[in-house]
Amino acid sequence: MSSNTQKSQETAGRAIKAPQARSFGLRSLVVGSAVLALAMLCAQPALRFGGGELKQRVSRAAIVLFDRAAGECGEGKGNCEAGYCCSQYGWCGTSTAYCATGCQPLYGKCDGAVTPQPPAQTTTATVPRPSTGGLPACVPKTCTWAGHCWGAACDVVVPPPATTPATVAPTVAPPVSTPVIPAPPTGIKPLTVRTALPSGTGVILKCTKPGTMAWTFDDGPYTYNQAILDLLKAANMKATFFLNGNNYDCIFDAENKARVKAMVAAGHQIASHTWSHQDSATLNDAAFRYQIRKLEDALMKIIGFAPRYFRPPYGSYNAANLAVLNSLGIRTVNWDVDSGDANGITEATAKTNLATGLKTGLNHIVLSHETPSFIINEVKYFIANFKNKAQWVTVAECLGDTASPYFIVPVLDSSSTCTTDDLKGSVAVGK
């Protein structure tokens, strides 16, 4: 870029630079009628200055409005406003002189000339005002929006007339709602108390009941759930579903609540996979308890009971996690055969992984996921090739657990929603 271009940018920058220009606050299109209207807002209390004074205010208002669309940029000077380019000479602008050769991408856009859009504006036009205007009386300097003086350029502020404070009725807190807990479905008899597991109880990787295997699905409830249930029903096979509360979907969505109920009604086992699929090994005690209790809370509200079985996301856990789970009476289950279908692989590779893992041995616990786009084909392949290899039952059954895989636990609160703010949290011991 030529030295003339640099000088022209510097000259333009100095011409439009006013006090506090570095902040790059409001921007506006400098249109004659708009500038005149803005200047009139501030000039209204002082029309006594006459036509010369009004002309001077219009001119200065235009300068400030234009200044809000440009300024210096670069190291030690800050960034340009969104939509503006920072030239190699450290000035903000929107033409190719600013946005092309030498443009500094760290301090603004650099993809050619752009047209900045003015921000959405609010108006105080409908706000009742006293007859004096209730506006600042400005010396003949610059003004900004809606009659507010720029910086400290005011000689007096006309206060609004005194008013009698309105009587405010005392605030009455709304009644705290109590969540409705449904009765467990017929045939489900959850335990009524938590019973801690022996200290040092470890992670389950295989079935123990002879002739059985367990097929498990993580990360639901999800879109393909009903199709999976239909295929399992036709094959007379049972599975275990390790569920999240707020991961791919929200468990409180109507379709997902229906999926949870359908899994239970079909005789499958549901188990915990945490509330939002955080890596358990990275969480402190309170944060890990939140992941367990938040999902328990949701399932209590949907089906009236919570699971006694748990799988850590990514299969990741530490000794502190196990201590919490054992104290809560929850059995921890991983797997010994992994389809790998959640690792970005192809359908063919997932099938190969299953064939390799199930080729030899018995009493396997197999890992699949509800979420891959090819999961229906994976399920069909699995049933066609491995249905007769063993009796496919729930995890609780393959471990010979004669107690209910569920229990009744206290609810945490009355909320039945999922938000980005509830992905993480903390729950103290005893909650």
- Can you give the length of the chain in residues? 431
Bridge partners (DSSP) listed for residue 143: 149
CA-based torsion, 55, 60, 62, 63: positive or negative: positive
Beta strands in 279-396 (DSSP E): 306-307, 309-310, 331-332, 337-338, 365-369, 391-393
Distance CA 286, CA 33 (A): 60
Say which DSSP state 99 is in: H
Q: Mark whether 230 is an active-site residue.
A: no
* 348 neighbors 325 (Cβ within 8 angstroms): no
Given 218, 249, 297, 338, the catalytic residue: 218
Q: What are phi and psi of 99, to 5 degrees?
A: -100, -10
Contacts 24+ apart (CB under 8 A), 191-194: 191/308, 191/403, 191/404, 191/406, 191/407, 191/408, 192/407, 192/408, 193/407, 193/408, 194/328, 194/329, 194/407, 194/409
| Strand bridging mode 331-332 / 309-310 | parallel
Q: Which tokens in the block code for residue 268?
A: 């499958």
User: Which residue, among 229, 242, 185, has the nearest Cα to 251 in the 3D structure?
Assistant: 242
Q: Mark whether 364 is an active-site residue.
A: no
Given 268, 273, 364, 369, the catalytic residue: 369
Helix (H, G, I), strand (E, B) or coil at 66: helix
Say which DSSP state 91 is in: B
* 345 neighbors 313 (Cβ within 8 angstroms): no
Mention every residue, 6+ apart, whose C-beta is less than 8 A from residue 284: none
CA-based torsion, 348, 351, 357, 358: positive or negative: negative
Distance CA 71, CA 191 (A): 69
Distance CA 169, CA 368 (A): 59
Q: What are phi and psi of 214, to 5 degrees?
A: -130, 130
Residues belonging to the active site: 218, 369
